[in-house]
Amino acid sequence: MEKTGSSSSLNDLGPNGLGLTSAFFKPIHNSNPPLPSNRCTKVSVVGVGNVGMAIAQTILTQDLADEISLVDANPDKLQGEMLDLQHAAAFLPRTKITASVDYSVTAGSDLCIVTAGARQNPGESRLNLLQRNVALFRHIIPPLAKASPDSILIIVSNPVDILTYVAWKLSGFPVNRVLGSGTNLDSSRFRFLIADHLDVNAQDVQAFIVGEHGDSSVALWSSITVGGIPVLNFLKKNQIAYEKQTLENIHQAVVGSAYEVIRLKGYTSWAIGYSVANLARTILRDQRKIHPVTVLARGFYGVEGGDVFLSLPALLGRNGVVAVTNVHMNDEEAEKLQKSAKTILDMQSQLGL
């Protein structure tokens, strides 16, 4: 029977008219309501290194913003990068491009993307590098938040999980408006490798890497589907043997992918550029797509022990993180995720934040 006075929705097809959204997703608590749309879309990118410029260039060519602002501590490189993009104006969508060492240039941004970070010195410990990046963030995040108090922050700088936590603390933003690029790219690499093994299009593979963006990440093999077919269940049902080590080898190939690219060309840029632009598209155009990104994970999948940010499949929209997906995990995967969270919390505790 049709409802009167409102449009029907597939959301109401649950038993006794129950909405299905609440079953699939857990809401983000203490989040702000969506903001009204601005008449023009502005994106700011902090850090004009290889990663920052790959992100800016991809957002520009995909026509995702009316204005792009660049910020960096190196004024000469900053000016050069701005001019280089401006000189391509005849070949690109009409976009205003500005740049400054002063964060006032970012005022009124809808989205602020932070790629700036200190490089690891030879023999330097991971903790010391992290402490230097935290010190750097103390000079980046507060002025960004002041200039654009209604913006959404995407952190790309590594280690992305802890630095997303730091950005959340320093910005004072609600938790739904601070996220990290996390394992969005790792999951893309994962999908590519599975697709390559099966000789199918990667877009037909649904697969997630969750947890830390790093060595303790977790591959969710139990929930992988190809063309809608749950892979492991299909193999079991058809009594097709496979070795667990084969699956682990694919995961390790994902973990080592970035190191291989860095070994060969010295840095990564294009894949992370497309990955972050993909997140920007979902957020700015309110596409309500699910991405594995760095979010506050406490209370999800048995993650406890404190405020910890790590990657989980999250529903993204114009207000940032809308919800966390109730994706299937077996007991082993959930345990690995909780261990991954502990790894990050142990590192955070050494910072004294």
5 in a labelled binding site: no
238 in a labelled binding site: no
50 in a labelled binding site: yes
47 in a labelled binding site: yes
Distance, CA of 53 to CA of 110 (rounded, Å): 18
Spatial CA neighbour of 181 closest among 73, 309, 59: 309
The kind and range of the H/E element at 348 are helix 331-349
Spatial CA neighbour of 178 closest among 115, 113, 117: 113
The bridge status of strand 25-27 relative to strand 42-46 is unpaired
Q: How many helices (H) and strands (E) does the chain have?
A: 10, 15
Show the tokens assigned to 17.
């008219």
22 in a labelled binding site: no
Contact 179, 167 (CB under 8 A): no
293 in a labelled binding site: no
326 in a labelled binding site: no
Q: Which of 213, 251, 291, 328 is catalytic?
A: 213
291 is known as an active-site residue: no
266 in a labelled binding site: no
Spatial CA neighbour of 118 closest among 101, 133, 131: 133
158 in a labelled binding site: yes
52 in a labelled binding site: yes
Give the chain's end-to-end CA distance (angstroms, integer): 56
Residue ranges of the annotated binding site are 47-52, 72, 133, 156-158
The catalytic site residues sit at 213
Residue ranges of the annotated binding site for NAD(+) are 47-52, 72, 133, 156-158
